[in-house]
Amino acid sequence: MTQLRGLTAACGEPGTETAQRFLASGYDSVDAVLETLEVLRVARGRVRGRLTSAEEDLLRAAIVFTGATLDATLKQLIRDALPVLLEKSKQSHDKFESFAGQRLGTSEIADTKMIARYLVSSDPRARLIEDYIYDLTGSSLQSAEEVGKTAGALGINDAELRKRIDGLKTLFTARNEVSHELDLQSPGQPGDRTRRTRPMGPTKIMCQEGLEVAQLIVNAVGALMSA
């Protein structure tokens, strides 16, 4: 039985297909982990009450998979859609221009080596775009702020969607606690758990929202590309 709700329908716009496949695959992985958790709980005859440590590990996996899905989906959108959006979205173009200005030096001191690097290129603009894409995709997305930066580069300025992106802070806090700390914590008193507790309901909601926001971003990019 499916554990997650279905996402908003995909836009199907050319240029978003690969990112959409990444998102669909990630959604299936998160849902499968949550389904495994449900099967284990039923098998031990206890579908209510406190989860075992092994069951909470499945919730941790779902959190990490959700973060990885967001990361892979948005990076693929940058690679596939950004070159087109630079011609269609003023916001995307302005952010690219800002990057180019910073890349070539400050207002007081020009970076002559970097300028020369682009001048000797057969296509300086294409080389700048290549470097911009690398700047946006070179490291993993580990915060709602980084997702917001990526959305901004893609030309997304819808206030409601930006608000929902900001609301992913809880998901990324959990993702980083699991990925970087294995949820370990120092017990405050005897009997305390040495790992953070992961409740099932809130974790499912976090994962659902993370995947839904990814879908909304894909659709928003598709709308900009078709404009």
pLDDT > 90: percent of the chain: 73
Structural domain total, the chain: 1
Q: What is the pLDDT of residue 109?
A: 63
pLDDT tens figures, 118-162: 777 778 888 899 999 999 999 889 999 999 999 999 999 999 999
Q: What is the pLDDT of residue 102?
A: 82
Q: In this structure, what is the dihedral angle of CA atoms 149, 121, 225, 94, given to the nearest 10 degrees?
A: 50
In angstroms, the CA 75 to CA 35 distance is 28
Which range of residues forms the domain containing residue 61? 17-186+193-226
The answer as to whether 8 is a domain residue is no
The answer as to whether 35 is a domain residue is yes
The answer as to whether 6 is a domain residue is no
In angstroms, the CA 69 to CA 129 distance is 24
The answer as to whether 62 is a domain residue is yes
The answer as to whether 133 is a domain residue is yes
The answer as to whether 7 is a domain residue is no
Q: What is the pLDDT of residue 2?
A: 72
pLDDT tens figures, 74-124: 999 999 999 999 999 999 999 999 998 887 765 556 567 777 777 777 788
Q: What is the pLDDT of residue 154?
A: 97
The answer as to whether 1 is a domain residue is no
